[in-house]
Structures are given as structure tokens and as C-alpha cells.
A and B are shown apart, each in its own frame.
Chain A
Amino acid sequence: MSKNKKLKASSKRAGTKISGTIAIFVFLFVLGVFMALPIYLAVVMSIKPSQEWFIFPPKLYAIDPTLDNFRQMFRDAGKLWVPFSRYAANSFIVTVAVTTAQCFTASMAAFVLAKGRFKGSKFLNSIIVISLLYQSNVIYIVQYMVIAKLGMIDTYLALILPSVATPMGVFLMRQSISQLPDAMIEAAKVDGADMFRICWNVVMPNQKPALMTLVIFAFQAAWNIQANTYVFNEALKTLPTAVAQAAAAGIAKQGVAMAAAVFMLIPPVTVFMLAQKNVIETMAHSGIKD
């Protein structure tokens, strides 16, 4: 049934022949194989036993796949100062807090910067772009000084607060919200809604693609937070640190290093799939509705 509906919707578009779609698929598939190859190899290497590392010519698959590298990684990570579960819990707390806070602050700020009429809006917009363009090592030093001044060294706050407001998130959302017709916001104002209500009840339900994209960016950045310069207490450190320590140094550990890279990729990929599926499905529905 859903297939019927889809056909109906697409038949309204001009000249989208099925042969064209197949050509596009073939092109993307070929390119996709090359794009996916290094990551495929990473997965293969993570399940290759060490004696297969120096087989010549190099093989594109594992003859005798094993999870030893992953076991070794967890074993080594378990030997660190604090239990592995502690690192995992820290990562979980930091990732959830940063992602939520970032989406919340960026959505509101972006809405106001795109549609609010107030003095300084133009200035703030250009500051945000400029801050994206300015990259300097010294910033990290000053950030350290700020965090130290605020007495946040060796606290969760040092892991979370610096990542709450990212200019990229606001820029992304602002660009997307600016596409909405002003009439939509004016109509809501006439109905007596204040800016806060308009933002969350009128604008955001229309911004699912951009918001889900922001979730992906925020999660990915938060998941990789190490902040080893702000946090020295081992009990506050996150998974990337633990995994990096477990996989550190040595050819003998290359398999473990690959296992670590693959392991760290699993949560962001999962979030990515959920978020993208969410976007694509809702949009497909609203496309059919008309």
C-alpha cells in the first residue's frame, strides 16, 4: 500500500524516469564502494588475528576472524586506574548533557537570530561566522585559564560547559530557519503567541531535518570529548582516553588499535542511523500528505 502512495507522489514530479534513478544508484554504488573501503578494511583488521597481519599479498578479508582484539582492548582498558564502566558512565553523562544542552541553546538562539527583530542581530550573526573562521592554539590556553578561574578544573563541568554553545550549531539552525516564510511567524504573533512559544510550537516542528543534523554533530563532538587538559582525576575521564590508552603504541597492538577505532564508531553511527531515519521518514510522509 505504501508503495502505491509513493508512486503517486513521485509521478507528480516531472521527468524523473526510473532509468535515471537506476543510473544514479549505480553511480553512487560504485563511488560508495571506494568510500567505504577504508572503513571496511578497519573492520577487517579489527577481527584479523595477529598472525594474518603480514601475509603477502595483503588480503581484503580475515581468513580466521576473531574477536580477540576487542577482548584484549576491554581487558587492557579494565586494567587502568578505574573500572571500565566508570569511563563509560562518564562518557554517557557528558554526551547526553552536551547534546541536549547544545540543541536547546542553539535552537532558541538560531530562531531569534533568523527571525527576531532586535538591535544587534546582524552584528551577532557575523560574530558567529567569524568565530568559526578564527582558529588558534592560544584559544585553548585561554580556555584553560577561564576554566581554572571558574574553579572547574577536575569537575564534570569542565567536560560539559565549554561544548554547550557552538557557533556551528547556531549557524546551521539559523540558515535553516531563515527559509521559513515570515508570514508564518507574523500569523502566530497575531494569535498572541510570544517568541518562546513560536519557537517551540511553530518553528521547531518544521525544523526536523536541521535539528536531527545538529543532534548528529553534537553527539559526535560530545562523544569524542577528552579534555585531558582540564581533567586530571582519572575517575572523571571519558572513554576516548581509556580506549586510546588501551590501544597505545606498538605494532603488536595494531589490531587492538583498530578494534578501538571500530568500537568508538559504533555509538555515533547508531545515533546517525536513528536521526537520519527519523528525518527521511517524516519528510516522506509530509510529502505524500498534500
Chain B
Amino acid sequence: MKGRRRTVEKKKKAKNKKENLECWLMLAPFLLFFVVFTVIPVLISLPVGFTNFDMINKPDFVGLSNYKTLFLSDRIFIRSIRVTLIFAIFSGPVSYALCFFLAWLINELPPKLKTIFTLIFYAPSMANVYTVWQLIFSGDQYGYLNSILLDLGIITSAKQWLTDSNYILFVVITVQLWISLGAGFLALRAGFQNIDRSMYEAGAIEGIKNRWQELIYITIPAMKPQMMFAAVMQIVAAFTADIAGRNLVGFPSTDYAAHTIMTHAFDYGWIRYEMGYSSAICTVLFIIMFAANKLISKLLAKED
């Protein structure tokens, strides 16, 4: 009896060991490239924030001085934190909600329409058409928006959408929302597509009456993993927003109205070649995003 149990345990152990080995073998191809091209660069770049580094001479250790400058004397940085937070608060939750509800609504349509609508909403994230947006918001009367608003008599003179600091953030957030139905949206579409239809049939038997109840009692609980993925994607997109702003309203924007933390990092990194300082900026941004991610993971997990 005892001997048998021991051999069973031994077999189990051997099996676990085999599975362990198989797991690592299957991970190996990914891990190799991930470590070489992502993990190592990240680890090496982390301490650069504590140095002065101009990309020509060797980094020069300066302790916390970059961070002191950032928070104590860099007023544009403090401003960029504000811009980033406003940006993230307006564009993040809205785009997340859009991703989810549009993915859900599209799922209710017949197959052919599903493909077409998914393409229409996803295409902006593939396209590189800032020029078109510049023409839409162009400050002279050739701008589409000005032309329409003037025609309708809503405004009496052409508005400087791209250079008036009152409008800049609004314009950039609009365009960012337009391109924000990207990875998160598509992952949610795939998630909806993957839900077992028999669950809906079972739900119908158990008294689910309409689409709303279906969504809340069946669909959302089954979509947790995709919702988590989309949340991380939207956090990254909302907090690292930079390119849309620079392409639309130029760099630097009037009164730094669209100057996000990422734009600030770009400024010091690729224009002034102060990589140490730029790296410190990125580290602060990482801490903010990490906190946001922790918070949102908690919120999503709580709903269970």
C-alpha cells in the first residue's frame, strides 16, 4: 500500500518535472527575444534617470538631481502632468466605454455587417491621416469645420482651432478618441465572438429577458480577461498620448496646451539630447501608469 503510494507520487513528480521542462521549452523562443530586445533595454534604461547622459559622453551619476529639478523647478513639467491627467481622464474612460459598447453592439448584427462596422471603427487606428484633421480644423475659412460653422451661422469668424490654447486640448482629445478604437476594441470584438452561444440559450431558459440582462449576467462575466487587456491598452494609450498632439497642433503647442508628459520626454530626449532627464520623466510617467493600472485592475476584479 505504502510502496504503491510512493511510486504514484514518484510518477507524479516525474510528470510534473516533465511538464515543467516542456513549459520552459515552449516559452524559450518568446523569452529569448523578449529578454534580449525588451527586458535588457528596460533594465539598462532604468538607472539612466539618475545620470546626466548626452548620448555622446558616458553617463555621469548625479543622484536624485534630475528628479529634484523636475518637481521643484521645471514648471512646464508640472504643467505637462496636468495636461496628461486631464487628457487621460477625458479620453481614457470614454474610449474604454466606446470600445466595449461598440464591440458589443456590432456583435448583435448579422455577420457581413459585423466585418464592415468593425473595419470602420478600427480603421482610424491604422491610418496616418493627421493632415486631414489639420484641414478639418484649419484656422482659415478653408478649414472644413470653420466653413460649416460659418455657413450655419454658429460662429461669425473663423476660429483658430489649432493655435488657440482654449481649443487645442479639445481638438487633440477629439482626434485621440477617434484613433483610440484600436487594440482594446479589437480584442473585445474577438472576445464577444468567442462566447459560447449555448450560454445564451441556457440563459433564455433561466429567464433572461432582453439584451441588457444578457450583457450583464452572461456576457460581461465571460469577458473579464478581454476587458482586462483592453483596460491596460487604454491606460497606455491615454497616458502616453503625444504623437497625435505633435502632429496636429505642432511642437511646442501654444502655451504648452497639448504638452503631455510624453511630449516633455520627447523634447528633452530627441531635441535637447538630455537623455538622463528624459529618462527621469519617463520613470515618473511609469509610476503614474503603474498606479492607474493597479487601481483599475482592482475595480475590474471587484465586480465579480
Contacts and interface: CB of A to CB of B under 8 A. Distances in A.
Interface string A87-126: 0000000000000000011101101110011110100100
Contact of A276 (B30, B118, B200): B118
A14 B38 contact: no
Given A172-B229, A273-B119, A161 B126 contact: no
A168 B282 contact: no
Contacts, number: 299
A269 B126 contact: yes
Interface stretch (B1-9, B84-92, B136-144, B165-173): B136-144
A265 B121 contact: no
A187 interface: no
Contacts of B36: 146, 150
A194 interface: yes
A276 B187 contact: no
Nearest to B150: A57
Contacts of B222: 179
Nearest to B53: A138
Contacts of B113: 25
Nearest to A207: B194
B42 interface: yes
A281 B133 contact: no
Contacts of A21: 108-109
B44 interface: yes
A175 B225 contact: yes
A142 B55 CA distance: 11
Contacts of B258: none
A188 interface: no
Query: On chain A, which size bracket covers the interface?
Result: 35 or more
Nearest to A281: B111
B187 A131 contact: no
A51 interface: no
A165 B228 contact: no
Interface in A217-246: 217, 220
Nearest to A177: B225
Interface residues of B, number: 107
A12 B203 CA distance: 10
Interface in B133-174: 133, 135-136, 141-144, 147, 151
B38 A167 contact: yes
Given A15-B211, A111-B26, A210-B194, A28 B106 contact: yes
A280 B115 contact: yes
Interface in A194-219: 194-196, 199, 209-210, 212-213, 216-217
B290 interface: yes
Contacts of B144: 41, 58
A54 interface: yes
B41 A137 contact: no
Interface in B1-37: 16, 18-20, 22-27, 29-34, 36-37
B115 A277 contact: yes
Interface in B180-204: 181, 183, 186-187, 189-191, 193-194, 197-198, 200-201, 203-204
Contact of A104 (B29, B208, B210, B286): B29
B127 A58 contact: no
A217 B131 CA distance: 24
Contacts of A4: none
A38 B133 contact: yes
A16 B213 CA distance: 11
Interface in A10-28: 12-16, 20-21, 24-25, 27-28
B176 interface: no
Given A162-B37, A265-B126, A108 B27 contact: yes
Contacts of B151: 57
A77 interface: no
Interface of A: 6, 9, 12-16, 20-21, 24-25, 27-28, 31-32, 35-36, 38-39, 41-42, 45, 54, 56-58, 104-106, 108-109, 111-113, 116-119, 121, 124, 127, 129-139, 141-143, 146, 150, 161-162, 164-165, 167-168, 170-172, 175-176, 178-179, 194-196, 199, 209-210, 212-213, 216-217, 220, 254, 257-258, 261, 264-265, 268-269, 272-273, 276-277, 279-281, 283-284, 287, 290
Given A137-B278, A283-B194, 19 more contacts: A12-B200, A25-B113, A28-B102, A39-B132, A108-B30, A133-B232, A135-B236, A136-B286, A137-B279, A138-B44, A142-B41, A209-B193, A216-B186, A257-B131, A261-B129, A261-B131, A269-B123, A276-B118, A283-B193
